[in-house]
Amino acid sequence: MTSLITTSTTSQSAIVASRPLPAALCAIAGLGHYLPDRIITNDELAQTVDTSDQWIMERTGISGRRCAAPEEATSDMAHRAALEAMADAGVTAEDLDLILLATSTPDTPVPSTACYLQARLGCGGVPAMDIAAGCSGFGFALQMAAASVKSGLHRTVLVVGADTLTRITNYADRQSCILFGDGAGAAVVAPTGRFDVIYSSIGSDGSGTGMIRVRAGGSRTPASLDSVATAGHTLELHGREVFKAAVLRMSDCIRKAASAIGVRPGDFDLVIPHQANARIIEAVGRQLDVPPERLLSDIRETGNTAAASIPIALGRADRASPLAPGKLVCIVGFGAGLAWACQVLLVRDR
């Protein structure tokens, strides 16, 4: 596991006078997100597979998930989220000097979706690349942005998590089709800003590659009539195993993050786990004694939006009730790879 924890114990001024915390690696200066208008309801899914609104609500907490319009691709949603984040941060495309886009559903296999986004933003010359780390992609991109900013190599980094999972969902598989939705979330990362990133950690375990995957369409099994006929281009998952692994790994990440900055998990003012299933989120809370009011479950109306889930949940929570200066927020992702990512944010003044 890679860690960017600083060793400084400099106090963070009056905001957290009672808690000496590590110095910031960098900050999130602006947030934005985008969710398509169309909602796929549970009842709509129940017309094609053997399921029900009651089962889906009880087992996942999801009542609806968003679906991109036919002409809308990942970079289009990323563009909407990016514009909002840039406006929030008070920067323009000319200020950007790096674009990192986390996705598992690129517009095209080649070139990168980040390059489509860069062209839409009109900032030719700015390096742009995709990061593939499944549902924890945003956290991976945030750590890379933090490292770049902290090192002085880059100053203003656009970090986006965007996925159009409905395009790779098997709507004949009742276990998985109930979970996934589309969306994008973005953050502008800079030396200073509203959320100091005071801890960051990422990790992967390739022995779990078979637990969540799209079997075909790559170099091992190229697209063919057979791969299409056997739904090889859609997401396959071992739901029960992923459920258990997600609870254990995200709990472990939060425990380590808390310990690294000298608090207990229950001391975080807000914990935002990847929004995969409301029961996974509840189980993480139970493992760590994080009270429900400090645990964000925002999956009801969005479903699992993969790399977009954390920036969307953070942005929606902050918009609904702005996070007060001094609050400590822990974000933690988990997904295909297997891969996980965890950051601690300290809220600053606007």
Ligand X SMILES: CC(C)(COP(=O)(O)OP(=O)(O)OC[C@H]1O[C@@H](n2cnc3c(N)ncnc32)[C@H](O)[C@@H]1OP(=O)(O)O)[C@@H](O)C(=O)NCCC(=O)NCCS
Residue of 67, 274, 277, 330 marked active site: 274
> Is residue 191 within the footprint of ligand X (CB under 6 A)?
no
Residue 332: DSSP 8-state: E
- Does the annotation count 342 as an active-site position? no
Q: Establish if 167 lies at the interface with ligand X (CB under 6 A).
A: no
Contact stretch for ligand X (CB under 6 A) within 75-83, 159-167, 237-245, 281-289: 237-245
From 18-26, 50-58, 63-71, 286-294, give the range in contact with ligand X by CB under 6 A. 50-58
Q: Is 175 in the site for ligand X (CB under 6 A)?
A: yes
- Tell me the C-alpha distance between 248 and 145, whole Å: 27
149 neighbors 159 (Cβ within 8 angstroms): no
Alpha-carbon gap, residue 286 to 292, rounded angstroms: 9
Q: Return d(Cα 149, Cα 157) in angstroms, integer.
A: 8
Tokens of 8: 């400084």
Select the residue interacting with ligand X from 137, 265, 335, 337 (CB under 6 A). 335
DSSP state of 70: T
Query: Residue 46 Cβ, how far from ligand X at the closest point, in Å?
Result: 8
In the annotation, is 274 catalytic? yes
**Site residues (CB under 6 A) for ligand X, limited to 105-164:** 135
Report the greatest alpha carbon distance in the chain. 64
> Does an H or E element contain 27, and which?
strand 26-34
| C-alpha–C-alpha distance, residues 303 and 300, integer Å | 6
Q: What sign does the CA torsion over 237, 243, 245, 246 have?
A: positive
Contact between 277 and ligand X by CB under 6 A: the answer reads yes
Interactions with ligand X, residue window 284-323 (CB under 6 A)? 304
Closest approach of Cβ 74 to ligand X, in Å? 18
Residues in contact with ligand X by the rule CB under 6 A: 51, 55-56, 59-60, 135, 174-175, 178-179, 212, 237, 239-240, 242-243, 246, 276-277, 304, 334-335
List the catalytic residues. 135, 274, 304
